[in-house]
Structure 1
Amino acid sequence: MNICTWNIRGLNEPLKANEVRRFLNNHSIHVVALLETRVRLGNKEKVQKRFGGVWTWFCNYPHSPKGRIWVGWRTADVDLQILSSSSQNVHCWIHTKDHRFSSFFTAVYGLHSVGHRQALWDELNHLSTSSSASPWLVAGDFNSILYSGDRINGNAVSNAETRDFNQCISDCDLNELHSTGWFFSWSSKGTDDPRVCSRIDRAFGNMKWMDSFSELSTKYLNPSLSDHSPIIIPCITNPSSGGRPFKFLNYLADHSSFESIMGECWNREDRGRPMAQIWFKLNRVKHKLKVLHKEEFSHTAEKIEYYRSELDNLQTQMRSDNSPHLLSTEKELICNLRKWLAIEEQALKQKSRVQWVKVGDSNHQFFYSAMKERFCINKVHLLHGDGGVEITDLTEIQSKIIDFYKQLLGSAASSLPGLDVPTIRNGNVLSSDSRALLCLPVTVG
């Protein structure tokens, strides 16, 4: 499941339309926002037929006579509902038919002047209030830069150019998605020398998006026949290969084998630094307690129902037969039922405590969301190896980075020559006054 936004700079030429169709097929695009199509309403159906019958299209012709924004989706795989549209954005709800992905999506094509874009910022602010409860993706050509370093050559970046865009991103609580590939998404293809390049095509997600899809990374690809880079946003994460996190439940400590397990795991000698030794000991304890829980305490609900049923049947039988062996059996069943009810109660208490922390302490949620966002930004999702081959395997990426720095720093020297102190002393040195000046405390102003 991939979403794509691309300012294709005109779509009337059959060759360009065929190239865009090939691109969508080759990159398995399921939802696409084509911007600046320059196709008039009368030619719309003719151009759309070149993409094939698998695509359904929505165009914002009521707001723009040249169809500035086309949103297309593959109906066999995706259900898409248009919620609103304007001259600068199309807002919709996307839901895949395999139920693996659902999200709000806003395709953006900003107008070219600061004043005209003000309506776009107001519209995004309005949409943010209705989209905050679900993942929300905002992507496209904003025709505005966000930071001073987003343009090289051309006119100098002024604060007025970036102020409104920055304020909108802050008010909507959006975060830019991690990206790979081209940094500058647009470049002048005329006679400009040097060529002007800027980053005006972007993809953002709200906090729900970052929580759900923090591992995903957008790709800025080569612009091909356009002067803008297409942005591909993968929207389905690979299932994690790791197991469930370990939780220590208090009733494990009451088991008769608990002390022997702790003694066996903790008293074994380990090599390495003290913290490494502790990690090995805790890891052994975790695996042993998992086995103990699986063998002794798993399927608590089923065991409670079993003992309840057995006790009920026995007490029904005791109405006509009150023999001593039935009394002892009843006592044993009640003891077992109490045991498993106590275990279930401890587990529920720990779950409720976790739920209380989750609901009651919103600062934790904010902190971990911020950490997840930072982790997403700093993580290396993709490298280009020799010959431009894409490397996405994390182990191979780590190996490539280590090899790069080994080559950069060189091999270890067998010996390090010492400094020639007389030569150093005979060279340029600071005067005593300069040395004293450098040692003064740092002051403001």
Structure 2
Amino acid sequence: MGLVPKLWGHGECQCVGAAGSVGGVACLWNPLRLHLVWWAMSRSSTSEVLSSLEIGEVVLFSNIYAPIDLPCKHNLWSHVAGMRRLAPFHPWIMAADFNAILELSEKKGGVVRLEPSSVLFQDSISRLQLVDIKPSNGVFTWNNRRVGENWIAEWLDRFLWNRQGFGNIFREKKAAQIVLSEITREIREHGLSKDFLREEDKAVKVVEEWETREEVYWKQRARIDWLKEGDKNMTFFFNSVKARRHENSIPILVNDRGEQCLSLEEMSREALQFFQSLFKEESQGETEEENLVLACIHSLVSREMNEQLLGPILMEELERIVFHMRKGKALGPDGFLIEFFQEF
């Protein structure tokens, strides 16, 4: 890897050499803008804690060229998790060729299925609280350079960032706004100068950077996928998150005896009993009075309707339901998206 520092010139870098024609990864940075605090390497990755000389922010940056075989992938993710434990509070950016897809939609051609390496990839991202950054143009980053039925393309290269780093957005944005307000006050009291103008421009850029991060944060939390970058709608995104959280929460359950269930354990037990009794076949009335009452209730399901409900499921019915389902949804623990069934 001696060629990389030579080509990079006066910049700094950390490199892991390739094993023959496989692997090899390098992290390059400008020492005039970033200061290396500490670094670590493995056979497939480099991790650097870099400090910005302009705004003073410290970031953990990991570069990965993932191996092919599963045991080595397990070792890689253990090493990456160890790096995170050494820098638990800094924003974390990961650039990598993971040699694995996350979803079935990230592959075209060949056998389209989720391998164990993809399951490991999904579990690692969830466990380390990483967020996948979707590309603005295209999806596939690799193809086998063949044509026709032999063509295979996959999305293997991607950037990830951690959610915890975004937890400091609101504090950092507030601090940046205070700095900008102080500079504005100084200009108001002492007049504008080149030094004040330079400091003000720098402070404005810092505030705008944190505003952009806040906007992206709320967009991802709100899952509003039809709005584009640049819309200054943090209030809308925040309200969307609160609305979704409110709709998805059950603070209290009241059972058929009128008793309130407040704890998660009580609500889980009550919900289980309710649905067990709901779907259990009930017998006819056990007393003559009950049978007389039941005889007065007209049946809402005719014999023809009942036969239709109990009849075999038609392929036309399945196709109509499948093709009306929203894209991007997984049907169950197998991870197959609805696009798979709509296409194949």
User: How does the TM-score come out when normalised to structure 2?
Assistant: 0.49
User: How does the TM-score come out when normalised to structure 1?
Assistant: 0.39
Q: Which structure has the higher relative contact order (CA within 8 Å, separation 6+)?
A: 1
Larger-Rg structure: 1
